[in-house]
């Protein structure tokens, strides 16, 4: 148990652990919500949560050295990380636009 606290003493590790934990909770509830919705804006919101969690997982795997930083990169810019960072925001934008256009707004 002491190794776990030493592991969390590094701020980067603690930040990734918290993001993974909260992201897993969000993905769990998003999965439950997916089954009960038929609105397009909710589907994009849920997809945004899924892609956010994929970005956190990718960053965690890269941080611990399971994959290198240059897996898919152009001039030291990781394409995979950039895409996974921006797709959730794009999904949220689409979700908000569809919500504003819906009859419920």
Q: What is the pLDDT of residues 51-87, one digit of tens each?
A: 999 999 988 888 888 876 556 667 767 777 788 889 9
92 falls in which pLDDT band (50, 70, 90)? very high
Q: How many CB atoms lie within 10 A of CB 51?
A: 20
- Please state the domain count of the chain: 1
Burial 69-88 (b: 16+ CB within 10 A, else e): eeeeeeeeebeebeebeebb
Paired residues of 73 in beta bridges: 78
Which pTM does this prediction carry? 0.80
Note whether residue 89 is domain-resident.
yes
Contact 103, 56 (CB under 8 A): no
User: What H or E segment, with its residue span, contains residue 73?
Assistant: strand 73-74
Note whether residue 6 is domain-resident.
no
Residue 36's domain comprises 13-101
- Mean pLDDT in the chain? 84
């Amino acid at each position: 148990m002491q190794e776990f606290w030493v592991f969390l003493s590094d701020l980067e590790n603690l930040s990734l652990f918290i993001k993974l934990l909260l992201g897993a909770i969000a993905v769990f509830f998003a999965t439950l919500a997916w089954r009960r919705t038929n609105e397009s804006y909710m589907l994009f919101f849920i997809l945004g949560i899924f892609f956010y969690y994929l970005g956190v997982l990718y960053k965690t795997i890269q941080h611990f050295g399971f994959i290198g930083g240059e897996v898919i990169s152009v001039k030291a810019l990781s394409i995979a990380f950039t895409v996974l960072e921006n797709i959730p925001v794009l999904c949220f934008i689409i979700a908000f636009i569809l919500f504003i256009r819906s009859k419920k707004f």
